[in-house]
Structure 1
Amino acid sequence: MTVLVALCSIAFASPSTSFARDSLGVFSDWGAFRDPAIPRCYAIAKAAPSNQQRDNDPFASVGTWPSSNVRGQLHLRLSRNLARGSSITLTIGSKKFTLTGSGGNAWAQNRSMDSAIVAAMRSASRMTVSANDTNRRRFSNSYDLDGAATAMDAATVGCARAG
């Protein structure tokens, strides 16, 4: 129940004029939600707990926006705000991706990278994003990927039904 409460708090804290979100399920540390007002669907998880300083409540999400023909788009809310020009590295298993971002957010550089990241998430057990904060200190956020594939599938199906 704690995972569901935490995921709901992240899902409902996302900026939007509408608060009507439907839960599509909780799968280990990952949840899937549908926001029919936008419409969008997404899989989301909180970062592993840490005793390190946090400027933001970090999460990872993989979203689908059917009206924009976008599927499987990664968004990471980082625990700290980024230093200007900081390199952002996402490590999933043995694969490394250089992301783009600003403030406390990071994304894949393009749709093909999104696809490669989602594929890597499906076959790995953990992912870690690392960068330098505004004080040039290195930080990282880690995620358990158990349940991620099922949550991503639930989000994709949830939006297919909405259309």
Structure 2
Amino acid sequence: MIRRLSLAALIAVPLIAVCAPLAAKDSLGVFGQWGAFHDADGPRCYAIAAGGRRGDFAPFASVGTWPGQEVRGQVHFRLSRRTARNTAIRLRVGSQEFPLTGGGGDAWARDGRMDAAIVAAMRSAGRMTISARSADGRNFSDSYSLEGAATAMDAASVGCTGRR
């Protein structure tokens, strides 16, 4: 009995640590591999998916909306690895490829037009992969299923409608 309680406690602590920051956010729904959230602190809304493989960081892909800054559909990727200086960061969505900008462990579209093109590609593809060279010189990639991405992006957009 004591062993079970200890194991349960060991499992509960990481779950509480992960879930506590999300508790401050309003869930707008989970759709396939993607979730949509509203954060009143911004206000901002976003669709987000966790990456599978962890390295230097816990990777994720997100598409955000900040009504107060008039930003809609901005893509952001937290990469699994710290990138090498001046490395090319490439995003492949279906058959389309996009050169991203960024550094450290983050990547973004180069401008609003590219954000829109990436979001449009995400709506019709099944998978996307980001590739770069890590700080230790090895190539790496982070992949995401796009199952539910379009619905999550729509939910995030609607979740921020009329908010400033």
Give the Cα–Cα distance (whole angstroms) in 2 for the partners of residues 11 and 105 of structure 1: 23
Give the Cα–Cα distance (whole angstroms) in 2 for the partners of residues 10 and 97 of structure 1: 33
The letter for the 1-side match of 2:74 is Q
- 3-state secondary structure, aligned to 1:162: coil
The letter for the 2-side match of 1:85 is N
- 3-state secondary structure, aligned to 2:161: helix
Q: Is the 8 A contact 1:126 1:144 kept in 2?
A: yes
Please say if 1:79 is aligned against 2:80.
yes
Give the Cα–Cα distance (whole angstroms) in 2 for the partners of residues 75 and 69 of structure 1: 16
Q: Which runs of 5+ in 1 are unaligned?
A: 1-5, 14-18
Q: How does 1:10-159 map to 2 (within 5 A)?
A: 12=21, 20-47=24-51, 49-50=52-53, 54-159=55-160
Pick closer, same or farther for the CA change 1:81–1:10 going to 2, 3 Å: farther
Match of 1:16 in 2: none
Identity of aligned residues (%): 59
The letter for the 1-side match of 2:68 is S
Give the Cα–Cα distance (whole angstroms) in 2 for the partners of residues 39 and 143 of structure 1: 26
Pick closer, same or farther for the CA change 1:23–1:117 going to 2, 3 Å: same
> Between Structure 1 and Structure 2, whose CA radius of gyration is higher?
2
Q: If the length of structure 2 is used for normalisation, what is the TM-score?
A: 0.86
CA deviation profile, 1:44-97 (whole Å, cap 9, x unmatched): 0011x34xx600000000000000000000000000001000000000011000
RMSD: 2.0
Give the Cα–Cα distance (whole angstroms) in 2 for the partners of residues 82 and 143 of structure 1: 19
The letter for the 1-side match of 2:85 is R
Runs of 4+ in 1 over 4 A off after TM superposition: none
